[in-house]
Every structure is written in structure tokens, then in C-alpha cells.
Amino acid sequence: MKTTDLKQDPHRVREHRENVLEVAIGREVRAFRHKQEITVAELSTATGLSIGMLSKIENGNTSPSLTTLQTLANALSVPLTAFFRGFEETRMAVHTKAGEGVELEREGTRANHQYNLLGHIGANTSGVIVEPYLISLSNEADIFPTFQHGGIETIYMLEGEIDYRHGEEVYPLKPGDTLFFDADAAHGPEVLTLLPARYLSIICYPQTR
């Protein structure tokens, strides 16, 4: 498999709580600027702050003074407290113990196909919704219809063997195999080769506000 350079380090940590506040403020400043379709140069002219300083603020690389934040708030026509919104939001975690996932019946599923939603977090600061499912196919399971929906989906095979269709291609999946795909193409199990079969299905899509 070809090595890919990732843009984020999943093991990166912040040494100081202050850095988290700076990043939260920077994200809000950038978000308000984009929402109003104002360029950095235009905001620089409106506030008297240099483009370099604005870049540092938006990237969380400096601690802006209250005077600077008030100047930005006036230029962007938002209350000063709006810049702290992201920092004050509660970050959620969902712990689902074995066997306690919420069993769902998705439209189009057949008898002996079991969907267990393993957790769900709604609106969040990432702007992305993630739905992790544990899907179980029994010995008597019927064939899935194909599904189509927005977002990106990842399948990780835990048990059994299936041939999984994505668009015009069919992929044989065995325990330990992963399939990562654009979920807008028709997809679903095509052949249930070895049952019982279980796999994780993780669907990611942009949240709508």
C-alpha cells in the first residue's frame, strides 16, 4: 500500500490549555470572516491590524488582547463573547458496552440482518457526523439491496466472508480487510460467502446547520 502524507497528526497533544483557547478564538474569527465573505486584506484595512497578525490569530499562534478582540468584534459586527463560543462548547464522548448498541432497522434491510448503532454525536465543532454500525448477517440472512447515500463509508470485516459491491466493482472481504469508499455509489453485500458474517460500517458526512 502506498504511503500517504496525512495533514493531521492523530497523536498530537497541546501542552497548554491556553493554546486550546487561542485555537478556538482563531477558528471563530476565521468562520465569521468567511461567513461575511471578507478577505484577510479587507479585515486588515477595517481593523488596522496587519495581515501577518490576523494570520497568527486565525491559526491560533498568538494570544490576542481584549482590545484586539474588541476591534475584531466591531469590524465583524459580532459580540466579543462570540469568539469564545467554540472554547465553551461541551465535547462529547459516547461509551457503548458490548451488546448494548441501539438496534435499528434501516429501510431496505431484510430478515436476519442486524444493524447496531454503536454511538452518535450530533452537532459538534468538527462539522462532521460519524455513524458507526456493527452489522451482523446470520446463516439465514437474505441478500442486501444496494444502498446509496451521501458521505464516505469505511467497512472493516470482523468475521465471515462476503463479496461487497461498490458501483461496478465487487470486492471479496475477509476478516481484517477494509473497504473505504464514496457512499454515493450503489453499494452492499453481493454474495454471502461464509456465514455468520460481521463487519463494522462507519459512515461520515458533513453536518448541516
Label each residue of the chain as H, E or C.
Answer: CCCCCCCCCCCCCCCCHHHHHHHHHHHHHHHHHHHCCCCHHHHHHHHCCCHHHHHHHHCCCCCCCHHHHHHHHHHHCCCHHHHHHHHHCCCCCCCCCCCCCEEECCCCCCCCEEEEECCCCCCCCCCEEEEEEEEEECCCCCCCCCECCCCEEEEEEEEEEEEEEECCEEEEECCCCEEEEECCCCEEEEEEEEEEEEEEEEEEEECCC
pLDDT confidence of residue 86: 66
Quickly state the pLDDT bin for 46 (edges 50, 70, 90): very high
**How many CB atoms are closer than 10 A to CB 61?**
13
pLDDT digits (tens, 9 = 90+) for 150-168: 889 999 999 999 999 999 9
What are the tens digits of pLDDT across the range 64-99?
888 999 999 999 999 888 887 766 555 556 556 766
φ, ψ for residue 8, nearest 5 deg: -125, 145
pLDDT of residue 107: 45
Alpha-carbon span 69 to 83, nearest angstrom: 8
What span, in angstroms and rounded, lies between the C-alpha atoms of 171 and 152?
17
Q: What is the mean pLDDT of residues 96-110?
A: 55
Structure-model confidence comparison of residues 97 and 2, the more confident one: 97
In this prediction, residues 49-57 reach a mean pLDDT of 93
How far is Cα 183 from Cα 151, in angstroms, rounded to an integer?
6
pLDDT, position 147:
84
- Please state, rounded to an integer, the average pLDDT across all residues of the chain: 80
Match 469564545 to its residue by C-alpha cell.
Answer: 84
C-alpha cell at 173: 472481504
Question: Looking only at Cα atoms, what is the longest distance across the chain?
Answer: 70
- Is the pTM higher than 0.75? The answer reads no
User: Residue 24's pLDDT is what?
Assistant: 83
Which region among 79-83, 98-102, 176-180 has the lowest average model confidence (pLDDT)? 98-102
pLDDT at 128: 81
pLDDT at residue 108 is higher than 50: no
- pLDDT above 50: residue 5: yes
**Residue 57 burial (CB < 10 Å; 0-12/13-18/19+)?**
buried
